[in-house]
A and B are shown apart, each in its own frame.
Chain A
């Protein structure tokens, strides 16, 4: 993936059924693009962390604001120092090792 073209948004969310569909539903409903999702539970909490890979267009501000409005979304930030290779590894997994 290309750091200039893409952005990773980092979310902390309540960990219960339906949160994932609330978030993907928002992207469908508002016609935002969504290139990849990584999600995992945080140890000893009732929360999960989520990373969303998004094309960097002029709607990032609006996406972040809409995400903040979701009831089960506790924190939203644009990930400045995320390791972008994580999604590259996922990409490899998806495409199959050559």
Chain B
């Protein structure tokens, strides 16, 4: 039978199990859209800006663990998509972006809407493919999904010129074609740990007196949160998490120390100073987590397990490191470690906690952002998916929301992209129709992809957008206050839209809780509904995220740890 390139693309996407694609059509990807129109397996989500298509794909991928797809046309369609692709790279999210390119005959002529997609893709993707004939698609499409999902996941761009989408070829047998089209590709080894490696790790743990787990996104990527829990419980090892690891260990468990690093609790960062064995699982020693790297865990030996060999000994030299899937290591390791109550270490941690509590614990003001977020956490089911934007509200969520399950926090950790929250929430809701999704945002971030309220109105998903509104770019203002002698510039908004009315203009419900007498009752009422809505909650612009580790300082040198104490 004869197939066009576009037909091959859509057929192969259907075979990959893709059922939703976010995107925007344009001149260079119209052949694909024309075939997509006939697909009864794939739902297309028309967004209002390509960046949102990338973040919707991320919302799907981050909640399911499977690669999700977005479409964009050449030129500005591609450049608009790039922020979401770079974001996926830094947080290791499997996304396959399929972009239209101008016809091959025009490539290199500065044609209308021509941009060097592959050149732009190099530093921000795991890999990119330029397709020069329809025949290659049979190999490249499945290969792109394999690359995106295998090992440490990441984004892949497939750039397809319009003439390749229109080219017709004869395909008699799909499986044979795939073999024939295979280009030179040596099988890359998936790293594994040997039994000796695991023995060595078990021995180091059993011999340690004050071990500490430092966990991150690798735990959810490897789906090993349950094993991790049993492992930590058996040997009584306290757990500190990165932003990306939140949800992988129940936040109400006595072993959980919360997030470490720049905005970690005082006791968490001080426990880092005392541990004699840091067990780093699925983390990359990011500067926001470690503070000044030379002063990170000064008394500890370090064990590091990560699936990406390049992360081992990258930022911090370790005593023992293995490139492997954490779940495979934990499977064996849990059998080899002693059952140990570690009473002395637990007592020491208890004392550190008592002497250095989280600074807000005595403040009962229900309008305080930390209390608001705790209240939201208390009102909704534990499987509720929370997305955030970037800034103060993001850190307040990380500090105080009671995460219990992995993949319930979607946040832009590595790139720190304002505008992530709303489209990621739409993606999460599309992939999880039975769950409630809450996007907690700020008045700065939400405006960076506000146009997607129109997409939300189209789809009528169970997404609640909560805007913690302080009228400023709060995190930057905080940096100006603390580290630039209160020189405030370009952080206060001269005007701020009426968000509740704006939501209504987009065709969804809007609430303003300003001057609302019974804040908690109102929140409870709104959160019990399942329609899309926007809630504006004014907060005090003087509230800062505390404690904070000054730039260049060690984690133990945090400031603001005792402000409210």
Contacts and interface: CB of A to CB of B under 8 A. Distances in A.
A62 B308 CA distance: 12
12 contacts: A14-B184, A15-B184, A17-B130, A22-B122, A47-B184, A61-B313, A62-B314, A65-B309, A71-B126, A71-B147, A74-B184, A75-B186
A25 B309 contact: no
Given A21-B119, A25-B123, A74 B186 contact: yes
B310 interface: yes
B273 to A, nearest CB: 27
A61 B310 CA distance: 9
A31 to B, nearest CB: 12
A95 to B, nearest CB: 31
Interface in A43-98: 45-47, 61-62, 65-66, 68-71, 74-75
Nearest to B127: A71
A46 B122 contact: no
A75 B122 CA distance: 20
Interface in B115-132: 118-119, 122-123, 126-128, 130
Contacts of A69: 308, 310
Interface string B336-366: 0000000000000000000000000000000
- Residue of A17, A47, A71 with most chain B CB atoms under a 10 A cut-off: A71
Contacts of B127: 70-71
B183 interface: yes
B435 to A, nearest CB: 35
Contacts of A25: 122-123
Contact of B183 (A14, A66, A75): A14
Contacts of A40: none
B170 interface: no
B259 to A, nearest CB: 27
A29 interface: yes
A62 B122 CA distance: 18
User: 6 tightest CB-CB pairs across the interface, nearest first?
Assistant: A65-B310, A25-B122, A71-B127, A29-B123, A46-B184, A74-B186
A54 B523 CA distance: 60
B183 A18 contact: no
B196 interface: no
Chain B interface SS verdict (over half): mixed
Interface string B173-191: 0000000000111100000
Contact of B185 (A14, A15, A21, A68): A14
A46 B314 contact: no
A22 B124 CA distance: 11
The contact size tier of chain B is 10 to 19
Contact of B310 (A16, A29, A62, A75): A62
A45 B183 CA distance: 11
Interface string A29-47: 1000000000000000111
Name the residue among B119, B126, B186, B308 with the largest chain A CB count within 10 angstroms: B186
Contacts of B147: 71
Given A29-B123, A70-B127, A75-B186, 10 more contacts: A14-B183, A14-B184, A15-B184, A16-B183, A18-B128, A25-B122, A25-B123, A62-B310, A69-B308, A71-B147
A31 B333 CA distance: 37
Given A47-B184, A71-B127, A74-B184, A18 B313 contact: no
Contacts of A46: 183-184
A74 B314 CA distance: 22
Contacts of B184: 14-15, 45-47, 74
Nearest to A63: B310
A85 to B, nearest CB: 30
Interface in B280-337: 308-310, 313-314
A26 to B, nearest CB: 8
Nearest to A46: B184
Nearest to B124: A29
A33 B561 CA distance: 42
Contacts of A14: 183-185
A94 B242 CA distance: 50
Nearest to A59: B314
Interface in B426-440: none
Nearest to B313: A61
Nearest to A65: B310
Nearest to A25: B122
Nearest to B118: A18
A44 to B, nearest CB: 12
Contacts of A61: 313
Contacts of A15: 184
B185 A18 contact: no
A50 B119 CA distance: 20
